[in-house]
Amino acid sequence: MAGVAAPTFVEQKIKQRPVVLFSKSYCPDSKKVKKLLKDVYQLDYKQLEVVNIEKRQDVNQIEDYFMMFCLSERRELPQLWAGGKYVGNESKINHLHKDGQLSALFTTCGVSVPSINPPNQMGIADVSASEKKEEDETGTK
């Protein structure tokens, strides 16, 4: 997609899957959200596209676009879209998850997710901590 302006690239990606997460592969918050979406909500490649932007030449323009779009003063990843609508950053995703609203959001955009009833009160940080504990116990990643 060489030569495609950052906003156009983002808009094209948002249209390709019901759920799109823009992230950086080395970003701790991005890793936590990816784990939440894949392990707890069991989103697969047909439902979720994770777009790691760090290797793109226009990474700064994409981050600038997110700052403008999200009315933020910080370059912050991950950023999540569902059903073509902006959901939020890691903090907002965690809030929606803890309140049980993330499942409903996915369902309204046609994504089938497992029933999390009562809503999983485990936050993103807790999911990451449980993964670390698992690593320590098994000695594997």
Indicate the pairing of strand 79-82 with strand 48-52: unpaired
Residue 117 has what pLDDT? 58
Spatial separation of the C-alpha atoms in residues 57 and 131, rounded to whole Å: 32
Note down the domain range covering 20: 6-138
Residue 98 in any domain: the answer is yes
Residue 130 lies in a domain: yes
- Assess if residue 1 is contained within a domain: no
Model confidence pTM above 0.85? no
Q: Given the structure tokens 């600038």, which residue do they identify? A: 64
Can you tell me the distance from the alpha carbon of 123 to that of 30, in angstroms, rounded to the nearest whole number? 14
Quick one: average pLDDT of 108-115? 90
For residues 6 and 62, is the Cβ–Cβ distance under 8 A?
yes
What domain count does the chain have? Answer: 1
- Is 114 part of a structural domain of the chain? yes
Q: Do 79 and 20 meet the contact criterion of CB atoms below 8 Å apart?
A: no
Q: What is the CATH number of the domain that holds 118?
A: 3.40.30.10
> 3-state DSSP helix/strand/coil percent for the chain, to nearest 5?
50, 15, 40
Q: 78-82, 107-111, 133-137: lowest mean pLDDT where?
A: 133-137
Q: What is the pLDDT of residues 7-42, one digit of tens each?
A: 999 999 999 999 999 999 999 999 999 999 999 999
Determine contact, residues 87/81, Cβ cutoff 8 Å. yes
Determine the pLDDT at residue 72: 77
Q: Which long-range contacts (CB under 8 A, 24 or more apart) does 4-13 make?
A: 5/58, 5/61, 6/58, 6/61, 6/62, 6/64, 6/65, 7/65, 9/58, 9/62, 10/62, 10/65, 10/66, 13/49, 13/51
Residue 116 lies in a domain: yes
Grouping H, G, I as helix, E, B as strand and the rest as coil, residue 113 is coil
Mean pLDDT, rounded, of the chain: 85
> What integer is the mean pLDDT of 49-64?
95
**Does residue 141 surpass a pLDDT of 50?**
no
